Amino acid sequence: MIKYQVNNKISKNDLEQLYSSVGWFAYTNEMTNLTKAIDNSLLVITAWQDEKLVGLIRTVGDGYTILYIQDILVHPDFQNQKIGTTLMTMVLAKYPHIRQKVLLTEDAPNVRYFYEKFGFISCDKGNTVAFYKESEG
C-alpha cells in the first residue's frame, strides 16, 4: 500500500535513490542543492512503499497567484500504478484558487497525455508562449 506524506523530512539518501532511479543526474550531481531546493519548496508531497521513497512532487511559487510544478517523479518499479496521478491530484486540490499553474517538461506523447488529463494546455497549442534559459555551467 502506498502512503502519501506532505512536507515531511526526506533523507539525502532517499532523495538520491529516487532521483537517480529516473536518471535525473543533474540533480544528484549536486545533492546539497537538491536538498536545499526540497527544503525551500512551497509544497512537497511524497509517496512511500513501506520505508522506500517511490514518488515525489514538489512545487514552488507564492501559493496565491502562481504555482510552478517543478518536479514530479515516480520510481520506475512503481510507475503506471496511479502514483503520479495521485500526487498531481493532491497538489491541484490544495491550490484550486491559483489561476496560473505552470510546468516545463519534455515533449513526449505519454507526457503530454499525463498533463493534458489535468487540464494543462501545451504552449504550442494555446495562445501563450514559453521561454526558458538554462545556466551555462
Supply the pLDDT for residue 137: 61
Predicted pLDDT of residue 33: 96
- For the whole model, what pTM was predicted? 0.89
What top-level class would CATH report for the domain 2-98? alpha beta
The answer to whether 90 and 100 are in contact (CB under 8 A) is no
What residues does each domain of the chain span?
2-98
What does the alpha-carbon distance between residue 43 and residue 87 come to, in Å, rounded to a whole number? Answer: 11
Tell me what pLDDT residue 72 has: 96
Q: How many CA atoms lie within 13 A of 125 on its CB side?
A: 7
**What is the arithmetic mean of pLDDT over 93-113?**
88
3-state SS, residue 13: helix
Judge contact between 58 and 49, C-beta under 8 A.
no
The predicted model gives 38-58 an average pLDDT of 97
Tens digits of residue pLDDT in 55-84: 999 999 999 999 999 999 999 999 999 999
Other Cβ atoms closer than 10 A to 47:
25
